[in-house]
Amino acid sequence: MGAHIEWLSGVMRIGRDFRVYGDPYEFLCGVVRSGDTVSFIGASSQAVAGLVREREIIRAILRPLGVKRVRWSRMRGGLEVWREYSIK
């Protein structure tokens, strides 16, 4: 009998001086994986648009993991609007 755990969620931290867990960071969000898609949820940032500004770093981390798409939502006028993009 065998077993395998497929990790489905985590936390992403981004910062100018961030190198390893425990370093200071300016951006934080939850990450949920479903197949080849990850969704960023509950972002908190001291810097505006941290997710967009750091997209090349994020892509470089996700590509080797087999991730093909990223999603995140924003609240606009009381409605949740989802964005989804391909990782190239």
Question: What are the structural domains, with CATH classification, of the chain?
Answer: 9-86 (3.30.300)
CA separation for the pair 40, 62 (Å, rounded): 12
What value does the mean pLDDT take over residues 56-69? Answer: 91
DSSP H helical ranges for the chain: 50-53, 55-62
Check pLDDT > 80 for residue 52: no
Confidence at residue 33, expressed as pLDDT on a 0 to 100 scale:
94
The two counts, helices (H) then strands (E), for the chain are: 2, 5
Confidence at residue 20, expressed as pLDDT on a 0 to 100 scale:
93
Percentage of the chain surpassing pLDDT 90?
Answer: 36
Please state the pTM of the whole predicted model: 0.76
pLDDT in tens, 1-29: 888 887 789 999 888 888 999 999 888 88
Q: State the virtual CA torsion across 10, 8, 30, 39 in degrees, nearest 10.
A: 140
